[in-house]
Chains A and B, each alone.
Chain A
């Protein structure tokens, strides 16, 4: 029975992909074919990258084993509207009217006035949102960077303004919950709030952020089922410290990630880029 169901699911998803493909408006086919073969044109966003000293950390969800994060570079702030505009101008296949449904759903850059005009009253220095994981990845690639991994992002997210790991401070989560509960925070300029311990801005106060492997922890949306055990998700509460069980802010981030698909675009979801640290630089 369950096999049949699985098969059905498979067929269903094929059908979905098929449909998604055929949904594309007519007339864009030739253009797509020509633009699609081209590589991303390089962009050079003017953003400082902060060197993050790696180390071992205990993931919020996991089997209680420490995960090693290598030294890496992280953008000090999220990618802005202005930077993303520059990217789509140089890489037309990522413009709203050219984007393939497979790579972004129908709310991609939804608030923009047209392909090359930012949303009305939008601050060019506010973080870009309504971008899919594919688009974020393409942007990073054209900037010679990549998306941070979930571990890298969460490693940096342990920091507050004073310390690299604030997970045991009770105010830490409470403060974040209040930030998260704020609407329209994505409209604000980047870098207005204080940087964290590493000198990284806006980890929490503007947008949720894509990570390269956002769906590596397949939280079922339901945080109470036994399913978590397999994936090391719920038993994580036993694995992590007591403080983490109360870390509602982290639960929120993981729940948010688990609600995403790679082609989703959401009003309060943006991204920033990361890069490997070249040890013997040229």
Chain B
């Protein structure tokens, strides 16, 4: 009898747990992500350059995914005629977008280029474990570290280098995003892009030509010389503007590396139909501007109804117009006078 009661209670409890999961509505934390078994072929995730992201995971089962990142130190362009010694993951700022699903088991290889001067490591905010992997991956120039983690929480997460002095490694460009999709995947959209905001602190003034050195005082004082999207002033302007067609739904994975500032992310002339604030599982609707903390991220989704150029900014607007936090989304297609039309 006692047994019967216990098992009944247990069953009831389980039922309730299920119910809670189901009634959650949004793609919440899978209660028993730990128990999700991986199956199928191991995926070697191919690196793609931002603002491109790897293909959606769809409804595939959890599996083993191998991710390769290489820490590099290389001179590159920060603005027209301005160069800087960037530290990167996979030679881009931000580093390669990592895309997995909840339950996946990731084998992360972090190589440090042999001509690097500094040691580097990686802290993925998607990891449950000390230092998010930093401890396991501190890697000397020319060496490689490997560590495994199981993705337990769905969401959009920042990763960055956490080698000492951390602020410098982030200020030099060592960051990126990792997306952990919920079971079944995110809803289908027509376009996906990857934008990450970051600050640069240089000895010279904004747009002062030549190779610019890091300015520690400006960093400590939180007075950036540049606030940019994707590691460079105008990285998303001109020929590099994001593209979409009228009627399409656009999803942007937005990260903010900081190292200091909070971003007020906004697309001029658009309203976000959905914002997964802070990169989490719940979405808000009909949002003009979303706050993205340093070391945080958000997914924004919107349908484009009218052709034209939509300016992407950090709405702390001096940053956009003077320091580089500006990009463009170019929408082509039929005009839609019902939605928007200039009378005179």
Contact = CB atoms under 8 A, between A and B. Distances in A.
Interface in A220-279: 220-225, 227, 246, 248, 251-252, 254-256, 258-260, 264, 266-269
Of A174, A259, A266, most buried by chain B (CB within 10 Å of CB) is A259
B165 A223 contact: yes
Contacts of A246: 216, 220
Given A251-B165, A256-B118, A174 B140 contact: no
B344 interface: no
Contact of A219 (B164, B213, B214): B164
B119 A248 contact: no
Name the prevailing secondary structure of the A interface residues.
loop
Interface stretch (A112-120, A142-150, A178-186): A178-186
Interface string A75-111: 0000000000000000000000000000000010000
B180 interface: no
Contact of B118 (A170, A220, A255): A255
B114 interface: yes
Given A181-B117, A223-B162, A266 B140 contact: yes
B166 interface: yes
Given A255-B138, A260-B140, A266-B141, A248 B117 contact: no
A255 B164 CA distance: 6
A211 interface: no
A44 B332 CA distance: 76
Nearest to B73: A183
A202 interface: no
Contacts of B131: 220-222, 224-225
B168 A220 contact: no
Interface string B141-174: 1110000000000000000001111101000000
A196 interface: no
B220 A221 contact: no
A191 B134 CA distance: 37
B214 A177 contact: yes
B208 interface: no
Interface in A171-220: 173-174, 177-178, 180-184, 219-220
Contact of B142 (A220, A254, A258, A267): A267
Interface of A: 107, 170, 173-174, 177-178, 180-184, 219-225, 227, 246, 248, 251-252, 254-256, 258-260, 264, 266-269
8 contacts: A177-B168, A221-B138, A222-B162, A225-B130, A252-B164, A264-B143, A267-B115, A268-B117
The 3 closest A-B pairs by CB, nearest first: A221-B138, A259-B119, A223-B164
Interface of B: 73, 85, 114-115, 117-119, 121, 123, 130-131, 134-135, 137-143, 162-166, 168, 213-214, 216-217, 220
Given A248-B165, A255-B163, 7 more contacts: A178-B213, A180-B117, A183-B117, A223-B166, A225-B135, A258-B119, A269-B140
